[in-house]
């Protein structure tokens, strides 16, 4: 983005780099954002990005509200993503004339507009306030999980949320599945089979996602739309159903995440056809699943 910058009048960007470092220039200062970190560029903030190698990642855009930390409820004062671990830029400025013209690109009501000026927009010497861009290292997430039996709701892995007017229902959640211990007893430990009111876009920053070890690669994505049933593939089911339930490390060397939304998500024609990256056989990972229902395997009068 040489002699160019961008700002979004429509909403906020949450940027998740998967490969390659991002050096982000803003009116507030500079941020170096690496894979396994995220950053948020809020509405109206001008920014430019330098890359140094082949680079890719994910972006979530929300409208009308801003990202914030989820309410912790009974968890209390500390846990999940702690406020102290979010970083903001140190004031920095660029006093530079651009005789050939500096292009400012604006996204407004879904359309792009451009204007030229003869000076860098990053000529802000100082600032104050709390409306800033920020970044966060996902390794600092304080994982909370079940230590007895059963599953806690996946909302316990929420890093940031953009709330709707309906309590408990978000316009968007950013959820991660970081390395952690699994100790639940009498429990099928992988993510359970379910359907819900949220659209779930899953991405993978590194490693192997526990519920689908094969075919789901870093930089890829999957979309399970509202009320669409989904869950672990057949291999994961068979392995987890037979394994001895001892304490085990889960997802070491892995970082998967989800963009969740109570709204419906559409896939572009480029994503479906032109990209030539669509996995036409994705559904086949569930075809080998077999019914193991045995209603007479125990006496219903006996205690569990």
Among the listed residues 71, 35, 67, the one whose alpha carbon sits nearest the alpha carbon of residue 256: 35
Residue 230, marked binder:
yes
Residue 200, marked binder:
yes
Which are the contacts of 79, defined by CB distance < 8 A and separation ≥ 6? Answer: 72, 142, 144
By CB atoms closer than 10 A (0-12, 13-18, 19+), residue 118 is exposed
The catalytic residue among 151, 208, 224, 292 is 151
CA distance 246 to 102: 60
Contact 204, 217 (CB under 8 A): yes
Task: Name the pairing type of β-strands 170-177 and 255-261.
Answer: antiparallel
Under DSSP, is residue 286 helix (H, G, I), strand (E, B) or coil?
A: helix
Is 151 a catalytic site residue? yes
CA distance 136 to 87: 6
Catalytic residue ranges: 151
Binding-site sequence positions for Fe cation = 194, 200, 230
Binding-site sequence positions for homogentisate = 209, 230
């Amino acid at each position: 983005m040489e002699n160019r910058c961008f700002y979004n009048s429509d909403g906020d960007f949450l940027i998740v780099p998967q490969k390659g470092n991002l050096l982000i220039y803003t009116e507030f200062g500079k941020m170096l954002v690496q894979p396994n970190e995220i950053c948020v560029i809020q509405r109206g903030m001008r920014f430019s990005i330098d890359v140094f190698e082949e680079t890719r990642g994910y972006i979530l855009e929300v409208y009308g509200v801003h990202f914030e930390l989820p309410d912790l409820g009974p968890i209390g004062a500390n846990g999940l993503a702690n406020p102290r671990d979010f970083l903001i830029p140190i004031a920095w400025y660029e006093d530079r004339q651009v005789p050939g013209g500096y292009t400012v690109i604006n996204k407004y009501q879904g359309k792009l507009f451009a204007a030229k000026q003869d000076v860098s927009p990053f000529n802000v010497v100082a600032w104050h306030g709390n409306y800033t861009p920020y970044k966060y290292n996902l390794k600092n997430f304080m994982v909370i999980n079940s230590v007895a039996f059963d599953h806690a709701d996946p909302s316990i892995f929420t890093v940031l949320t953009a709330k709707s007017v309906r309590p408990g229902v978000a316009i968007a959640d950013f959820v991660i599945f970081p390395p952690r211990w699994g100790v639940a007893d009498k429990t099928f430990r992988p993510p359970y089979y379910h359907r819900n009111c949220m659209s779930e876009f899953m991405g993978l920053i590194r490693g192997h996602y526990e519920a689908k070890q094969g075919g789901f690669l870093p930089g890829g994505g999957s979309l399970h739309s509202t009320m669409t049933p989904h869950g672990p593939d057949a291999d994961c089911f068979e392995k987890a159903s037979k394994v001895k339930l001892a304490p085990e490390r889960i997802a070491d060397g892995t970082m998967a995440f989800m963009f969740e939304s109570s709204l419906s998500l559409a896939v572009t024609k480029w994503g479906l056809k032109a990209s030539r990256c669509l996995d036409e056989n994705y559904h086949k990972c569930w075809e080998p699943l077999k019914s193991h229902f045995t209603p007479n395997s125990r006496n219903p009068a006996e205690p569990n």
